[in-house]
Every structure is written in C-alpha cells, then in structure tokens.
Structure 1
Amino acid sequence: MAATVPPRPDTATAQTVDGAIGVPERARPVEPEHRPGRLRRLARAGRADWRRSALAAASGLALTAAFPPYGLWPLSIAAVAALALLTHRRTARQAAWTGFAFGLPFFVWLLQWLHVVGWDAVIGLSIIEAVFFVPLGAALALTSRLPGWPLWGGCLWVAEELVRDRLPFGGFPWGRLAFANSASPFTPLAALGGAPLVSFGVALTGGLVAAAVLAGWRSRGRGRQALIGLGAAVLAAAVAACGYAVPVPTKADGQLKVAVVQGNVAQPGMHFLGRPMMILNNHVDATLQLARDIKAGRVARPDLVIWPENSSDLDPFTYPQAYDAITRAVRTIGVPVLVGALVDGPDADHVQNEGILWSPVTGPGASYTKQHPVPFGEYVPFRKELTKVIHRLDEIQRDFYPGNHTGVMTMGGARLGDVICFEVAYDGIVRDTVNAGARAIVVQTNNATYGRTGQPEQQLAMYQLRAVEHGRAVVAAATSGISALVEPDGTVKRQSKEFTREVLNVHLPLRDGTTVADKIGAVPEWTLAMVGVLSCAVAIWLGRRGRMEDKGK
C-alpha cells in the first residue's frame, strides 16, 4: 500500500465510517460549510470516537482473557488485530487515545490480583502501564500508511514491550503477548528469539488478520482487494504455523531426584504470615514427615529438597530458634535443602531475599540474593517523599537490598540456577542464569499474598515459556502454591493445589545444551524494536514530504 497524504481539513469527515473500525467510506461530495452541517459532522465524529473507544476497551478486555487463568490464547491475535483496525489511518492523536483506551481496561483486569493491596494500587499501576500504549497507538496509526504495515506493527509491539519491561524502576513485564502464548503454536519461537520473538509472531499474525479483514471489507469479496485479503489470511496462517517447524531441545543429559516442599501459610492476603515461626514450622513439619515416609519406604530419598521463598519467616542468622529448626529438619532428611529466608543486612536499613543452600553436615553455605526487588513491594523509591503522602508504604519498614550475581549453585550434585519469584518475568535474569551453567531452573516463590486471584496461574505460564526458551526444566517451590515441575518442552508434569500442604517428589531433567535464544540474547528484541522505530520515522518523513508537495501544487 502506497504512502498517502493525510486528508485535508475539508475532506476529513469523509474518512469515518461505521466510525468504529476506521474503515474509510467511499469519497462523497463535501457539504458546503455552514453551521448546521458542521454541527452534524462534529456530532457524528463524537459518536464515532465514543464507539471506537468502547471497542478499544472491549478489545483490551479480550486480550486479558487470553492470559491465565482463562488461557484463551487466540484472543491475543484477535485483540492485536482489533487495535490495528481501530488505529488504521487515524491521526496520531486519535490513535494515541485509542491505545490508552485499549491498555487501561486490559491492565485493570489483568492486574486485579493486586486488589489485596488495594484497588488504588490496581488503578495506579494500570494507568502507568497503559501509558505505554499511547505511543504504541500513535505509531500504529503512522505506520498504517506504509506498505507492509502489519510487519511494522509487529515490530512496534516488541518496542513497546522492550521499554515497558525496563521502565520505570526496572520495568514491569506483566502482560507481554508472549506470556499469553506459553502453550500455543507460537511458543516454540521462544527457543529461537526468546519471549520477544513470540510477541512478534503474535503481533504480526494479528496485523495480517487485520489486513485481511480490511481488504475483505473494501472488496466485498471481489477484485484485487479480495486477492490481497486472501494473501494476508494465508500469511497469517503461515506465521502462526511457523512454530511447528522450530525444533525444541528436550533430550535430558541426566536427572535429579528433587522433593519440593509446599508447607502452606496461615491465610491468603497481605497478612499471610500468622505468628512468628508458623510458616517455618509448616515447612519443617512437612520435611520431617517426608523423612518418615522415606524411612518407611513409601518414597525414595531425594538428592535435594527445595523450600520456597520466605519459607523461614525469621532470619535464621538473627533468631537461634529459626536456625535450630532448619538444622533439625535438614539433618533429619539427610540431604541439602534450599531454604528461602529474609536475611538482615548488609546494613540496618536493608534486608536481603535469599535462597540459602543448607547442608546436613556443614549447615548454611552458598546463597543467592534476589537481584530485582519489586518497587513498592520490596523497596520504596523516593521513600522520604512518598511516605509523607502514601502512609501505607510505612508497612515496608526496610528496603530489600539487591544481589549482584546469578543464582547458579551446585545443589544435590548438579549445577542448578535459582531465581526468586517475579524475577522469572525478566528475560535477562533467567538467560544469564542459564548461560552461567544452570542445567535446570529453580524458582522459589511466595504467592500467598495473591492466592486464588489468578496471579499464580499467570506466573506458572511464565515457567512454561522459560522452559521452552532455554531448553531447561523448571521446578518451582511456592509457600502456598502453585508449586510445579515443567518439562523442557513446556509441559506441566506435576503441579500442586493452592493452600494445601504438599510435597512433590519429582525427577528433574538436566540439560547442558543451549538454545539459539541463549546464544544470541537480546539481539532479536533490539533489532525488531529498532525496525519499528525506524518505520515510524519513515512514515513521518513521507507524511511531511507529501504535505509539502501538496502545498507546492
């Protein structure tokens, strides 16, 4: 499709129809400029914008339904297609609003699990995340005037996610298209280009579907436009099927017997801790029961026991009763235990979220400190200023201090890589862990605050995508669920129920080979994003040149 010059003010009203999907009507004579006609056009434009905003909001909600716990992944394609149609050949300003109208309801529903903190937190974070869809909508409108616009739109989705995953305060990757497609035909693309390539595949397919719909609307099933529509539909199907041609490495080089202990918590919500030592005692008791089952021959002795994040609700190095309880459990089971604990330090104003490998012989040894604490959850940016306004932030009495190295440790005789909770959402942290020699990925997490809200299911989908991306099994230990074993092909082999005490005895596959995604890192993401940005620059340049030529006539 050739680049076109934006309509002049006196013909702009001929560009709306059906007003909601932005499909242009056939040109009609321009009415004489008189007040009643102008008022009618303004009223019609207002109604069209209202309908367009409503459709954008509905499309954003449809995108949420593509994510767990609903998991209707085809809706991710439909939602992308809808946004492409709603912004097609609109002005940048109009499309920017459409992007926001799409993004806000999407994030409000997706992040509703934050309501346990407060609905103000849901709305506030959703607004911040939806702002990233403002430039996305404007950019989709600009590039919709270029030939091959579905391709540029796919690149722009990657660019939006790249920025949102990093800003502000280290970013918040929730809601990436890839995380709605952890068990879809697009998933194998992760082994080639990571999560960004999966998002690109989904966005490109959605754009091609939009092109097919648009051509079909214009042609009414006849002529050249009909062939264009058919070609776009065929290309969309081909892109969606590409994943089937991608080999996903799954052959294990060995295995490790692992017991995942889910000790459970006192109650869901913000105040899940209960009384001091309660959560620790739950995990100690479950481990002691496992030792009795081993002695009775009901289960085999594992090589490693994994406890979740915050499985010790007291710092074992500060409170002797916690240290002694952990030591008793570890010595009784007779194998190393990976313990999750909050440890004081490195100064009086900070704590560290750690995974500590506890030996039955030598006690605590190697450890991993969470590298990416969650802003406003584990630390407070601008604490002095914000606590004067938001008094609830005083509940976070000390900031979490970030670690400075990966979580690769020798556990039970194998090199495994520990990541803690939300870190699994960040591409670089998991990739660095695998490239540092992890033969499998361990996720220690505490989802008790968000139990029964859909958040644990959303995180489980991330485990599935990471397994395929890195060709590594993922074993997750959660205080209250969902604990799970995910095979290297993304299959959930075992999974616990929420808010139950349970021990998963699993055989953890170990692999040494790396995927293409591990080797090339963030190159596909940055390349696709830069192509998207350059396509916007070309669209702006062509638009300005067209206007200058028009003035020169």
Structure 2
Amino acid sequence: MTLQPTPAPAPDPVVPAAHRPLRRWVALLLAVAAGAALLLAFPPYGLWWLAPVAVALLAAATHRRRLRGGAGLGMIAGLVFFVPLLDWTHLAAGWLPWLLLSFAQAAYLALLGLAGAWLSPLHDRRRALWPLTAGLLWVAQEALRDRAPFGGFPWGRLAFSQGEAPALRLAVVGGAPLVTFAVAVAGGALVALAWRRWSRPRSWPAAAGFAVAAAVVLAGPALVPVAQPAAATRTVAIVQGNVPRLGLDFNAQRAAVLLNHVRATEQLAADVRAGRARQPDLVIWPENASDIDPLRNPDAAQQIAGAATAIGVPILLGAVLRSDIEGEIRNAGILWQPVTGPDLDQLYIKRHPVPFAEYMPLRPIARVVSDKVDLVKNMVAGDTPGVVRTPAATVGDVICFEVAYDAVVRDTVTGGAQILAVQTNNATFNEAEARQQLAMVQLRAVEHGREALMVSTVGVSAFVGTAGQVYRSTGFNEPAVVLHDMRVDGPRTLATRSGHWPELAAVALAVLVLVAATPLRRRRRGARAAAESTTEER
C-alpha cells in the first residue's frame, strides 16, 4: 500500500484572498492585546499612548469578521480590560458583583466589535474613513454606556486615560467626548496605516498621510490654549483625616473618622495661630467625614462647630443625613459656618447615587447574587446642582463617582461655580481607584476652565489646575492637611457652553454611518451567495 501525501487544503472559494479576515488565532490575540493595552493606558499604570493602540488592535481584530465573531472579540477585549480595571469593587461588594459589573461593561465593547465588523465593507472600499468611523463608534459606545442601565457607569472612558496626555487639552473645546473621539481617531489612523498591501508603491504616500494624521491627533492638542483663569485667588485647605482601618467596616468607626477630621482642622488652626501655616479662606472635608448625622446628633454637631470656630472660616463637609424613614439616607455636602453653624441654604444632596452600591434596584434579585445587599441603604437622590456659595468662592460640589458624569459637573459651572470640589471616600477601595478618579478631576478642570480639588478620607487628595496639572498630591491611607491658592472664576469654555450637543452629533453621525453601510453589506452577502452557488455547480 502506497501512502500518498495529504494535499494542501484548497483556498476558500467563497471569500477572495484580498477580502479575508485575519486568522482566528491572530484576531483572538489582537483582542486580548487590545484589552491589555486599554488597561495599561489608565492609572495607576498611566501609559496613555497605548489607548489609540488598543483602538487599532480591536479594529483590526474585528475587521471582515462575521457579526457574531466581531461581538465575541469585543467581549474578550472588554473582559481583559474591565475585570482588572474594576477589581477594587470586590473590596466592598465581593467577587460575584465585581464580575457581573465587569461582564456588563464588557458587553458594550462587544457591541463596538459588532459595529466594527458591520462596517468592514465600508472600510475596505474607503479606508480613509476608518479614523472617522472609529472616533464616532467609540463616542457612541461611551454615550450609551454612560447612561444605561440605571443611569450608566462611565468608568473606563477613553478620555479618562488621558490625564497626562496632550489630547487632554481638547477637553476645553468638546469635553470628554471630544477627547475620546481624538484618541479613537488616532487609533483608526493606525489601523488604516497597518492594514495595507505594502507591495503597491502608492501605499506609501497614503501610509505617510495616516501616520501624520495619527501624530497630529495625539500631539497636536498640546498647542490648544486652555482657559486662562482670573487673577483673584482664595486659599483653600483640604483635610484628609484618614480612617482607623480600610474596608467596609469604616462605617463602624464613624466616630473616630469624624474625630480625625476635627483634630486635623484644630491642629491647622493651632499652626495658623503659631505662624506655621497660612489662614485659609475655606476648609473642605471629604465625603463621609461625618457619617454621623450632625443635624440630628448633638455630639457630632458640637465637634464640627468646635473645629469651625477654631479655624474661623466655613467648613464644607461631607455628611450622611438620616431620614425619618427607616433605612433612607442622603449623601450631602454641608456648609458649616464658624458662628451660625450649618447653612441649610448651602446644602448639596448627591444627585447621582450609584446603583447597587448606594441604593439597590431589584433588591430581591440582587440578594441572590450577594449576601451584602442589605448593607446597602436606600440613598435618596437630590434634585439641584451642587452649587455651594461660600464667602470665599462659589464651589461646584460633586460627590465621589459623580465626577464621571458630564452633566452633573457641567451643571455646577453653568450655575456659577468658580472652583470645582470633588468630595470622595476611598476607604472601601484602593489607591488605583483613587488615581483613576483623580484623572477624571484633571479632565473636568480643563473642560470647564475651573481649578479643581479632590479631597478623600484616605487619599488620594490633590489640587488640579486648568491645564490638568496636579498640585500637592497626598499619599494614600495617611492623614494630611494641604493648603493651596486656588484661582477663582474665569470665562466659560466652549465645552461648557456647548454641553452635550457635540456628543449627540457624534452619536447621530455614528448611526448614519452604520445605516449607510447596509447596501455594502448586502452587496457583499450577494457576492458570497453567488460564489457559493458557483462552487456547488462545479
């Protein structure tokens, strides 16, 4: 018996070689690399230049694939990205809610992968459109993720990876959506540059054009002027009182947490009297500095009043306010005057509580997922922007995760805010989460031309200038009191004036592009069906 050599497999007669996708294992590796590059672009790693690379890798992985394959590759990239990015959530909620949240967020990248596959015929016909479509699709994906479900969860937006990048300057023109758009455009230019038949001489001029386009988008924004603040300044002190122990049980230590902030403020007052520190115009404590309701608890009120009297200026403090309804609370920023006490006319109630963390939708179902469900109170949302008028300046107050939501921050500036203050409590998370949040504060300062600060119970606390520069950053899990002269007021930026309209325009264009690609997809399916029919006849 003579063994015959196995013939090589015949090429696919249905799909021409020039229009085949990458091999599956190559596409899978690219999707994994895309998720990893996205992760490394964010704090605490801060390799911001990898963000457009991630966009390019995911676009290449999904190009020319079937819709199901594009969605699957997007899901893989999303899981590689979100599972480690959001690992700090398991410290408070446990591993199952962490994974469920990560899968839910990754599903949006699955939609992005599906859209990328859908547009493959358009990119094959007009490769020069790839940068534009990449920018539009990423903005549209983030617009959806920022809003649904339950008000959305914007963590991990491309724009929030650019805290130290030249592209951050674009926020002054179009806010976070424009920064995301620019990063994705650069990624689209990179994939258009790489996906070429290099044997053709005319490829080189086009490649040079895409390379220049990517470089301009990445580095060009450094030339964009940011808002110039007014000359007037106010000295603001932020107090990071720290907690006895990190973790969920910081709530059981609430008397000690309040006392830490009181003592730190009283020590600042002593330093001022001794000439070791400047007299501040305003003192700001973080979220949950008084987890004991000072409007109902005389001991807490007395301690806060003593600190305000000692320092001699108002204190904007974060407090949890109880209700007559069992289990109902409000997360508030209260202006406490040194003589008259709490100014209830300058009281901000958090407008955007976090679902499944600060209030519990679908509680009976959620109880099956986690036994910590009943630890979550029913946090009632406020209905007015966080505009707090103090003798020193009008403060745009946002609490914790609210800094991630465009409209919540913008409403304070249109309401007259001269500086931005982010009161937060990172005691149930870790330093990576705090630094990711600080990157959002950097973007907001540039976006609205307002100097900003972030003050945390445990850190990281810092001041931020209108060009995104960070001043006087504290360490994590240690007490600190920091003073800084903050410039107040300044003209409203184009981003503040235009609001959500640029994002809506990008979403509308993304939908238009997806619809416009329909005839090309039908034509490709027709060609595939004809090729299959011819093959069967043979």
Superposition TM-score, scaled by structure 2 size: 0.92
Q: Work out the CA distance in 2 between the residues paired with 1:89 and 1:488.
A: 43
Q: Work out the CA distance in 1 between the residues paired with 2:33 and 2:183.
A: 19
1:172 aligned onto 2:150: no
Higher deviation after alignment, 537-546 or 101-110: 537-546
2:283 paired residue among 295, 302, 305? 305
Residues 223-372 of structure 1 mapped to structure 2, 5 A cutoff: 223-345=201-323, 347-365=325-343, 366-372=346-352
Structure 1 residues 389 and 198: alpha-carbon distance in aligned structure 2, compared to 1, 3 A threshold = closer
Higher deviation after alignment, 166-175 or 50-59: 50-59
SS in 2 for 1:171: coil
Shift in Å, 1:511: 1.9
SS in 2 for 1:219: coil
Q: Which residue of 2 aligns with 1:390?
A: 370
Q: Which residue of 2 aligns with 1:129?
A: 105
Q: Work out the CA distance in 1 between the residues paired with 2:372 and 2:205.
A: 59
1:111 paired residue among 86, 103, 110? 86
Q: Which residue of 1 aligns with 2:461?
A: 483
Structure 1 residues 168 and 79: alpha-carbon distance in aligned structure 2, compared to 1, 3 A threshold = same
Q: Work out the CA distance in 2 between the residues paired with 1:335 and 1:128.
A: 45
Contact 1:202–1:240 (Cα < 8 Å) also in 2 = yes
Structure 1 residues 276 and 213: alpha-carbon distance in aligned structure 2, compared to 1, 3 A threshold = closer
Q: Work out the CA distance in 2 between the residues paired with 1:516 and 1:389.
A: 44
Shift in Å, 1:348: 3.1
Higher deviation after alignment, 420-429 or 142-151: 142-151
2:391 paired residue among 412, 437, 450? 412
Contact 1:330–1:337 (Cα < 8 Å) also in 2 = yes
SS in 1 for 2:58: helix
Structure 2 residues without counterparts, runs of 5 or longer = 1-10, 532-538
Q: Work out the CA distance in 1 between the residues paired with 2:384 and 2:88.
A: 30
SS in 1 for 2:113: helix
Q: Which residue of 2 aligns with 1:42?
A: none
Higher deviation after alignment, 48-57 or 332-341: 48-57
2:374 maps to a residue whose letter is D
Superposition TM-score, scaled by structure 1 size: 0.89
1:374 aligned onto 2:349: no
Q: Work out the CA distance in 1 between the residues paired with 2:440 and 2:426.
A: 14
1:53 aligned onto 2:32: no
Contact 1:414–1:439 (Cα < 8 Å) also in 2 = yes
2:166 paired residue among 185, 188, 203? 185
Shift in Å, 1:240: 2.1
Q: Deviations over 1:212-248 (max 9, x none)?
A: 1112xx114x412222222211221122233133221
1:392 maps to a residue whose letter is K
1:198 paired residue among 179, 184, 192? 179
1:438 maps to a residue whose letter is A
Q: Deviations over 1:316-361 (max 9, x none)?
A: 1222111111111111111100111100126334100000000011
1:330 maps to a residue whose letter is A
SS in 1 for 2:238: strand
Q: Which residue of 2 aligns with 1:541?
A: 519
Contact 1:155–1:529 (Cα < 8 Å) also in 2 = yes
Q: Deviations over 1:37-74 (max 9, x none)?
A: xxxxxxxxxxx424422331122011100000000011
SS in 2 for 1:247: coil
Q: Deviations over 1:241-299 (max 9, x none)?
A: 33133221133241111111111101122222453410000001101111111111111
SS in 1 for 2:293: coil
1:423 aligned onto 2:402: yes
Q: Work out the CA distance in 1 between the residues paired with 2:410 and 2:235.
A: 24
1:81 aligned onto 2:56: yes
SS in 1 for 2:517: helix
SS in 2 for 1:223: coil
1:521 maps to a residue whose letter is G
Contact 1:284–1:326 (Cα < 8 Å) also in 2 = yes
Q: Work out the CA distance in 1 between the residues paired with 2:203 and 2:392.
A: 63
1:120 aligned onto 2:93: no
1:394 maps to a residue whose letter is D
Q: Work out the CA distance in 2 between the residues paired with 1:493 and 1:552.
A: 65
Q: Work out the CA distance in 1 between the residues paired with 2:420 and 2:193.
A: 41
Higher deviation after alignment, 269-278 or 190-199: 269-278
1:441 maps to a residue whose letter is L
Q: Deviations over 1:147-195 (max 9, x none)?
A: 2122112100000000000011100001110000122111111111100
1:374 maps to a residue whose letter is V
1:92 maps to a residue whose letter is L
2:71 paired residue among 93, 96, 103? 96
Contact 2:414–2:496 (Cα < 8 Å) also in 1 = yes
Contact 2:262–2:304 (Cα < 8 Å) also in 1 = yes
Shift in Å, 1:409: 1.5
Residues 400-549 of structure 1 mapped to structure 2, 5 A cutoff: 400-452=379-431, 454-545=432-523, 547=525
Structure 1 residues 16 and 126: alpha-carbon distance in aligned structure 2, compared to 1, 3 A threshold = farther
Q: Deviations over 1:350-393 (max 9, x none)?
A: 10000000001111012100000011110000124432553220
Q: Which residue of 2 aligns with 1:12?
A: 15
Q: Which residue of 2 aligns with 1:37?
A: none
Q: Which residue of 2 aligns with 1:154?
A: 135
Higher deviation after alignment, 72-81 or 228-237: 228-237
1:70 aligned onto 2:50: no
Structure 1 residues without counterparts, runs of 5 or longer = 1-7, 24-47
Structure 1 residues 212 and 51: alpha-carbon distance in aligned structure 2, compared to 1, 3 A threshold = closer
Q: Deviations over 1:66-98 (max 9, x none)?
A: 000000011101111101111122222211111
Contact 2:449–2:490 (Cα < 8 Å) also in 1 = no
| RMSD of equivalent CA atoms | 2.0
Contact 2:139–2:506 (Cα < 8 Å) also in 1 = yes
Higher deviation after alignment, 504-513 or 437-446: 504-513
Q: Work out the CA distance in 2 between the residues paired with 1:465 and 1:225.
A: 38
Q: Which residue of 2 aligns with 1:210?
A: 191
Contact 2:183–2:218 (Cα < 8 Å) also in 1 = yes
Contact 1:451–1:480 (Cα < 8 Å) also in 2 = no
1:340 maps to a residue whose letter is G
Question: What is the identity percentage for the equivalent residue pairs of Structure 1 and Structure 2?
Answer: 46
Q: Work out the CA distance in 1 between the residues paired with 2:527 and 2:324.
A: 65
Higher deviation after alignment, 295-304 or 54-63: 54-63
Q: Work out the CA distance in 1 between the residues paired with 2:34 and 2:528.
A: 37
Q: Work out the CA distance in 2 between the residues paired with 1:290 and 1:251.
A: 28
